[in-house]
Protein backbone atom coordinates (compact mmCIF):
# COMPACT_ATOMS: atom_id res chain seq x y z
CA UNK A 1 0.00 0.00 0.00
CA UNK A 2 1.83 3.10 -1.22
CA UNK A 3 2.00 6.08 1.06
CA UNK A 4 0.49 9.32 -0.08
CA UNK A 5 3.50 11.56 -0.16
CA UNK A 6 2.20 14.57 -1.99
CA UNK A 7 -0.48 15.80 0.34
CA UNK A 8 1.67 18.07 2.41
CA UNK A 9 0.08 21.11 3.87
CA UNK A 10 -0.25 23.93 1.45
CA UNK A 11 0.31 21.90 -1.67
CA UNK A 12 -3.24 22.27 -2.86
CA UNK A 13 -4.46 25.41 -1.21
CA UNK A 14 -4.58 28.30 -3.59
CA UNK A 15 -4.34 31.63 -1.87
CA UNK A 16 -7.77 32.98 -1.13
CA UNK A 17 -8.55 36.35 -2.58
CA UNK A 18 -7.90 38.89 0.12
CA UNK A 19 -11.09 40.81 -0.62
CA UNK A 20 -13.32 37.88 0.15
CA UNK A 21 -14.39 39.19 3.50
CA UNK A 22 -13.72 42.85 2.98
CA UNK A 23 -16.33 45.32 4.09
CA UNK A 24 -19.23 45.55 1.73
CA UNK A 25 -20.14 49.15 2.35
CA UNK A 26 -17.47 50.97 0.44
CA UNK A 27 -17.15 51.55 -3.21
CA UNK A 28 -19.92 49.85 -5.08
CA UNK A 29 -22.87 51.54 -3.51
CA UNK A 30 -23.64 55.02 -4.79
CA UNK A 31 -23.30 57.85 -2.36
CA UNK A 32 -26.67 59.42 -1.79
CA UNK A 33 -27.17 62.83 -0.26
CA UNK A 34 -30.36 64.59 0.66
CA UNK A 35 -30.87 68.03 -0.80
CA UNK A 36 -33.43 70.77 -0.70
CA UNK A 37 -34.37 73.25 -3.34
CA UNK A 38 -33.86 76.92 -2.74
CA UNK A 39 -36.05 79.13 -4.91
CA UNK A 40 -34.67 82.14 -6.71
CA UNK A 41 -34.84 85.50 -5.10
CA UNK A 42 -34.40 89.02 -6.33
CA UNK A 43 -30.66 88.90 -6.17
CA UNK A 44 -30.20 85.39 -7.46
CA UNK A 45 -32.47 84.38 -10.30
CA UNK A 46 -31.56 80.72 -10.23
CA UNK A 47 -32.71 77.71 -8.31
CA UNK A 48 -30.19 76.15 -6.03
CA UNK A 49 -29.91 72.71 -4.57
CA UNK A 50 -28.46 72.71 -1.08
CA UNK A 51 -27.03 69.66 0.60
CA UNK A 52 -27.09 70.58 4.25
CA UNK A 53 -25.11 67.61 5.41
CA UNK A 54 -22.83 65.98 2.93
CA UNK A 55 -22.58 62.23 3.57
CA UNK A 56 -18.90 62.43 2.76
CA UNK A 57 -17.69 65.37 4.79
CA UNK A 58 -20.79 66.44 6.74
CA UNK A 59 -20.40 69.96 5.50
CA UNK A 60 -22.89 71.93 3.47
CA UNK A 61 -22.68 72.15 -0.29
CA UNK A 62 -24.73 74.16 -2.72
CA UNK A 63 -25.32 73.19 -6.31
CA UNK A 64 -27.20 74.68 -9.18
CA UNK A 65 -30.64 73.30 -9.96
CA UNK A 66 -31.49 74.48 -13.45
CA UNK A 67 -34.62 72.34 -13.53
CA UNK A 68 -36.02 74.12 -10.51
CA UNK A 69 -38.98 72.40 -8.94
CA UNK A 70 -38.71 69.58 -11.43
CA UNK A 71 -35.51 68.49 -9.76
CA UNK A 72 -35.99 65.18 -8.00
CA UNK A 73 -32.57 63.63 -8.01
CA UNK A 74 -29.45 64.64 -9.79
CA UNK A 75 -25.88 63.52 -9.95
CA UNK A 76 -23.49 66.13 -8.75
CA UNK A 77 -19.90 66.38 -7.78
CA UNK A 78 -19.59 67.08 -4.10
CA UNK A 79 -17.59 70.11 -3.09
CA UNK A 80 -15.76 68.45 -0.24
CA UNK A 81 -12.51 69.95 0.82
CA UNK A 82 -9.76 67.72 -0.30
CA UNK A 83 -11.59 66.51 -3.36
CA UNK A 84 -15.11 66.14 -4.58
CA UNK A 85 -16.70 62.85 -5.42
CA UNK A 86 -19.72 62.08 -7.53
CA UNK A 87 -22.86 61.58 -5.53
CA UNK A 88 -26.56 61.43 -6.08
CA UNK A 89 -28.56 64.22 -4.54
CA UNK A 90 -32.16 63.35 -3.83
CA UNK A 91 -34.48 66.21 -3.17
CA UNK A 92 -36.38 65.80 0.05
CA UNK A 93 -40.12 65.68 -0.40
Binding status of residue 56 toward Zn ion by CB under 5 A: yes
Binding status of residue 78 toward Zn ion by CB under 5 A: yes
Strand duo 32-38 + 86-91: pairing: parallel
Which single residue brings its beta carbon nearest to Zn ion? 54
Instruction: Tell which positions 3-42 bind Zn ion, by CB under 5 A.
Output: none
Which lies closer to Zn ion via its Cβ, residue 71 or residue 78? 78
Give the distance, in angstroms, between the CA of residue 8 and the centroid of all CA atoms in the same chain. 46
Which lies closer to Zn ion via its Cβ, residue 10 or residue 82? 82
Nearest to 81 by CA among 61, 51, 53, 52: 61
What lies within 8 Å, CB to CB, of 40 at 6+ separation is: 46, 47
Q: Which spans of this chain sit near Zn ion (rule: CB under 5 A)?
A: 54, 56-57, 78, 80
Amino acid sequence: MPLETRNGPGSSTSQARPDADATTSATNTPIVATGRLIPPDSRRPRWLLAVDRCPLCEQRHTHGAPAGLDTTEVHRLSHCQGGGKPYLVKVAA
